[in-house]
Amino acid sequence: MSVRVRFAPSPTGALHIGGVRTALYNYLFAKKNNGTFILRIEDTDRTRFVEGAEAYIEKSLAWAGIIPDEGPSVGGDFGPYRQSERRDIYSKYAQQLVAEGKAYYAFDTSEELDAMRDRLTEAGVVNTQYNAITRMQMNNALTLSKEEVQVKIESGEPYVVRIKMPRNEDIRFKDEVRGWVVVNSATLDDKVLLKSDGMPTYHLANIVDDHLMKITHVIRGEEWLPSAPLHITLYEYLGWEAPQMAHLPLLLKPDGNGKLSKRAADKLGFPIFPLNWNDPQSGEQSKGFKENGYLPEAFVNFLALLGWNPGGEQEIFSGEELIDLFSLEKINKAGAKFDIEKAKWFNQQYLKQISNDEIAAKLVELFPDLKGNDLLPEIAHSLKERVTFIEEMKVAGQFYFERPTVYNEKMVKKKWNELAVEKLQGFAKELSKQESVKADEAKTIFTEYLAQDETPMGRVMPALRLSLTGEGGGPDLMHIIQILGPQEVADRIALAVERLN
C-alpha cells in the first residue's frame, strides 16, 4: 500500500507557522516513502471562511517548497480537493449511519440545547454534554416515535444528524507519536455529523475524505487529538479501516509557558505567518517570515527541527537530507519551544552558503537603486558573514555605496595622528600606480610600504579603515580596497585628511 498523506487546512485566515510545520512533516513523510502528499481544503464551515486564505495557504507552501502532488490547483484522481465542492458526497454516509442505528436525527432548537445545559448546571452536573445519558431527555429520534420523526422531517423541520456514541466503552488507538491512547466514551458527546443546512461538520467530512482519498497516515497538530477517538469510532461504525495517526507536539512560547499564539509572537516582536498577511476582516497587517528576510531553505530547516530530530549534533540539513532522515518515530512528544534566535541563526548559516550573484540579485530586488552596481557580488561576499539578513547589507555596507560623511569619534581620537596620516598618504600614492588591485595585492603593497621604515601595521590600519569607511570595525580591509579600487581609496584618504586635520 503506498503512503498517502494530506495537509487539510481550513481557510479561516493566514496559515500559522504551526500549520506550515504540519504540512512540512506530511510532505517529508510522503517523499521519504515515495508516497503522495495531498492538499485538501476543508472549507465546509462557511461561517468561518475567509476570502483569500486558500490562495495564501498555497502561496505559503510554494514559498517553502512544500509542493502538493494532488490538490485544488494541481488536481488528481481523488478530487475535487475542496470540500465545498464535495458537499453531495457526505450526507449519504450520515444517512447510512442513521439507517444502521449508529447515528440519529435530532430536532433540538438552540433554546432547547441551552435549557438542557442550564438545567444540568443547576442540578450540579459538571458534564453538560449531549451524550449517552442526556440524549434521552432531548428532542430526537431516540425519544420520539417513528411517526413523529417522519412528520417532522416531512414538514421541513430542521434537524441535525448526531453520532450515537457508545455509553461506556474504551476507545483505543495507537498514535505514532504518543503511543497507545485510551479514552472512555463516557467522556465524549454525540457530536453533530450533518448540520441542519445539509453540510457535514469537520468530523464527518474529514474522515469520509480521508477514507475516499485513501489516506494512510493522518499527521496533524496535537489540538486534534481530542477528536481522534470520535474519528476512530466513525471509522469503526462505517466499517472502514482507520489510517495511522500521528499527533504533532504543540509549538510553545519561547519560555515554554503555553501555546505559541499570534498575540505572543506580536508581543515578542517576531513573525508567526510565513508571508505578509492583510486580514480582510480586522484590516490588520502582519509581516511574514519571507518579508522579514528569511530564506525559505533556512526557514524550512528551522521548522523541521521544531519537534523532530534525527539524533546527533548536525543541525544544517538540505531538503534532501531532511527527506532522507525523516521518520515519525523521531518526532518528540513534548511541546517545542519556539526560539526566534535559532531561526536567525539558521538564516545566517544559509546566507553564508548562497552565491554572491544570488545575493546581489536579491539586493537589487530589495533596493532597486542598487541596480547596475557591478560591485554587488563582491560587496555581498565581503558582508555575508557579518549579517543575518540580506536586507542588513545596505546599512552594514553603507560605505560601499557612499563616501563616509562622519568618522567614528572614538577611533579618531585614538588612532588618527601625524604618523598615520603620513603613511596613509604614502600608501595612497603607492596604490595609485595600479588601475585595480586584488585584496592580496593590496595587502602586499601595504605591508611592503610600511616595512620600508618598519612602521607597525597597527599604527596605520585603524586610520586607513576610518578614512575608507568612517568606522572602527567592519569587513576585511584589503577586500574593501579591492572593491573600492585605488583611485577611490586615494580620494577617500585625501578627503579624510582634509576633514580630520
CA distance 245 to 176: 6
CA distance 282 to 421: 61
Written as one string, the DSSP assignment of 219-287 is: EEEGGGGGGHHHHHHHHHHHT-PPPEEEEEPPEE-TTSSSB--HHHHHHHT---SSS-EE-TTT--EE-
Cβ distance to ligand GLU smaller for residue 13 or 486: 13
Cβ distance to ligand GLU smaller for residue 22 or 469: 22
Stretch that binds ligand GLU, among 5-13, 108-116, 176-184, 329-337 (CB under 6 A): 5-13
**Least spacing, CB of residue 128 vs ligand GLU, in Å:** 26
**Least spacing, CB of residue 231 vs ligand GLU, in Å:** 8
Q: Residue 470's CB: how many other CB atoms inside 10 A? A: 21
Cβ distance to ligand GLU smaller for residue 224 or 389: 224
Site string for ligand GLU, 328-367 (x = CB under 6 A): ----------------------------------------
Name residues contacting ligand GLU, limited to 224-243 (CB under 6 A). Answer: 224
**Least spacing, CB of residue 245 vs ligand GLU, in Å:** 10
**Least spacing, CB of residue 273 vs ligand GLU, in Å:** 15
**Least spacing, CB of residue 202 vs ligand GLU, in Å:** 6
The secondary structure of the chain in percent helix, strand, coil, rounded to multiples of 5, reads 50, 10, 40
**Least spacing, CB of residue 74 vs ligand GLU, in Å:** 19
Cβ distance to ligand GLU smaller for residue 11 or 470: 11
Site string for ligand GLU, 154-193 (x = CB under 6 A): ----------------------------------------
- 289-293 contacts, C-beta under 8 A, 24 or more apart: 289/17, 289/343, 290/63, 292/389, 293/347, 293/388, 293/389, 293/390, 293/391, 293/392
**Least spacing, CB of residue 220 vs ligand GLU, in Å:** 4
β-sheet bridge partners, residue 406:
none
Cβ distance to ligand GLU smaller for residue 171 or 360: 171
Name residues contacting ligand GLU, limited to 202-221 (CB under 6 A). Answer: 202, 206, 220
Question: Omega before 486 cis (within 30°)?
Answer: no
**SS3 assignment, position 419:** helix
**Least spacing, CB of residue 307 vs ligand GLU, in Å:** 16
CA distance 218 to 5: 6
Cβ distance to ligand GLU smaller for residue 225 or 340: 225
Q: Which residues contact 324 (CB under 8 A, 6 or more apart)?
A: 32
Cβ atoms 265, 287 nearer than 8 A: no
Q: What is the 3-state secondary structure (H, E, C) of 281-348?
A: CCCCEECCCCCCCCCHHHHHHHHHCCCECCCCCCCCCCHHHHHHHCCHHHECCCCEECCHHHHHHHHH
Cβ atoms 407, 397 nearer than 8 A: no
Cβ atoms 40, 75 nearer than 8 A: no
Active-site annotation holder among 32, 214, 253, 262: 262
262 is catalytic: yes
Rule CB under 6 A: choose which of 5, 9, 81, 428 binds ligand GLU: 9
Q: What are phi and psi of 248, to 5 degrees?
A: -80, 145
Number of residues that bind ligand GLU (CB under 6 A): 8
86 is an interface residue for ligand GLU by CB under 6 A: no
Cβ distance to ligand GLU smaller for residue 53 or 97: 53
**Least spacing, CB of residue 270 vs ligand GLU, in Å:** 23
Stretch that binds ligand GLU, among 7-15, 288-296, 388-396, 410-418 (CB under 6 A): 7-15
Q: Amino acid identity, residue 96?
A: Q
- What sign does the dihedral 86-92-95-96 (CA atoms) show? negative
Instruction: State the burial class of residue 262 (Cβ atoms within 10 Å of its Cβ: 0-12, 13-18, 19+).
Output: middle
Rule CB under 6 A: choose which of 24, 38, 42, 390 binds ligand GLU: 42
**Least spacing, CB of residue 207 vs ligand GLU, in Å:** 9
Cβ distance to ligand GLU smaller for residue 42 or 58: 42
Rule CB under 6 A: choose which of 5, 8, 20, 304 binds ligand GLU: 8
CA distance 161 to 177: 32
Cβ distance to ligand GLU smaller for residue 9 or 307: 9
Instruction: Report H helices in 71-132.
Output: 87-99, 110-122
Cβ distance to ligand GLU smaller for residue 53 or 351: 53
Query: Which residues lie near ligand GLU (CB under 6 A)?
Result: 8-10, 42, 202, 206, 220, 224
Give the catalytic positions in this structure.
262
